Amino acid sequence: MLSHKSKIYLAITVILVAVILLVVGLVNIFSGSESEQSEQIPEQNVEQELVARHPLSGLPLDDKDFSCLPISIMIENAADVLPQKGLAAADVIYESLAEGNITRLLAIYDSTNNVDKIGPVRSARPYFMDWAQEYGGIYMHVGGSPQALKALEDYDLIDVDQIGAGEVYFWRDQNLNAPHNVFTSNSNWLRAAEIRGDEYYCRVGGIGVWNFIDLPLKIKADFYIPEEIRVDFSSDLYQVDWKYNPNLKAYQRWQGGDKYIYDTGDQVLAQNVIVQLANTKVIDDLGRRQIDTQTGGQAYIFNAYGLQIVDWKVENGRTRFYLSENHGEEQGQEAGLVPGKSWVEIIPSEENISYK
């Protein structure tokens, strides 16, 4: 029979063993849950990376095999032809000065859209051709400057020029005066696409879309979102104002002090307004311009994520935007764009932009 002292030692031993087993069990439980979490996190990241996005707008797609032909069209922006036809269907729009201190537009469309009338279509300029080249596909225009026409064969684009063999892909509205009466449509660009087959089609992720990030349900209070942006291209007629609408989480456009509207009657809005500085010089007596689209420089991105001051660079034939030194430790990260419509304003200097 065990002595009283032995019984005490035995009890202590049993208690110690029980405590050790309990501790080991708890360690296994917590380490197991941590390993499960560490396995789940990469899966969530992979799922995020595999979101199929539209090559032009960045909007999420259900069809990961989606493809479209980018259609770049030169659109007039003279104050007396507004509103243009079909501009609402464009995913990306570039605006820059042409001669006469009038801005001109390059509208980028998805070939799968149905657009009955687009225009007035106007003439080509080399810098607009550079931006069209970033997307590839079809480039539609009515003639061009001598510099543009001379350089066209050097671009990897399906050139559709209304002056010449491409006339069949356009028509003139006889109720309007030339040269402000040339129009086209999606049925015409689809006919033109048959020239080269599908080698120019862009697929999901195929043309290196910008860094589109879906907005959270609630915008952070510390995001600095300027309420108004002014882009002063030249005269009052081409003074562009963008005003932020918090309900739409987008900027609405004014030009020359008036609401800038689509032919649908809706006011133009953009989820992203990109103001890009590029070296510019006048090269002839007619006021034609040469714009440096390749060297890089500073840009401002305005959207619901707030103002992002960025450096733009051309990489692999595509303009990318990286956070500048103003963003501290985030410098060098690719700027975030909101899925939707993007409007790119090209200006010669910081004197042409203000915001508050």
- The structural domain count of the chain equals 1
Domain that holds residue 303: 228-355
Examine residue 8 and state whether it is found in any structural domain, yes or no: no
Express each pLDDT in 280-317 by its tens digit: 999 999 999 999 999 999 999 999 999 999 999 999 99
Which tokens is 218 given? 């609630």
Examine residue 186 and state whether it is found in any structural domain, yes or no: no
pLDDT at position 216 is 84
Examine residue 339 and state whether it is found in any structural domain, yes or no: yes
Q: Model's pTM, two decimal places? A: 0.85
> Whole-angstrom Cα distance, residue 316 to residue 303?
25
Examine residue 117 and state whether it is found in any structural domain, yes or no: no
Examine residue 217 and state whether it is found in any structural domain, yes or no: no
Q: Collapse the DSSP code of 55 into the 3-class scheme (helix H, G, I; strand E, B; otherwise coil) and give the result.
A: coil
> Whole-angstrom Cα distance, residue 238 to residue 68?
33
pLDDT over 90 percentage in the chain: 73
Question: Is the separation of the CB atoms in 221 and 236 below 8 Å?
Answer: no
Examine residue 239 and state whether it is found in any structural domain, yes or no: yes
Binned at pLDDT 50, 70 and 90, residue 351 comes out as very high
The enclosing domain of 262 has a CATH number of 3.50.90.10
pLDDT at position 28 is 52
> Whole-angstrom Cα distance, residue 65 to residue 87?
26
Higher pLDDT, 274 or 327: 274
Express each pLDDT in 138-178 by its tens digit: 999 999 999 999 999 999 999 999 998 889 999 999 999 99
Examine residue 297 and state whether it is found in any structural domain, yes or no: yes
Q: Collapse the DSSP code of 99 into the 3-class scheme (helix H, G, I; strand E, B; otherwise coil) and give the result.
A: helix
SS3 for 216-246 is CCCCCCCCCCCCEEEEECCCHHHEEEEEEEC
pLDDT over 70 percentage in the chain: 82
> Whole-angstrom Cα distance, residue 289 to residue 280?
7
Examine residue 167 and state whether it is found in any structural domain, yes or no: no
> Whole-angstrom Cα distance, residue 131 to residue 345?
12
Residue with tokens 């309420």: 227
Which tokens is 234 given? 């030249």
Which tokens is 125 given? 């300029």
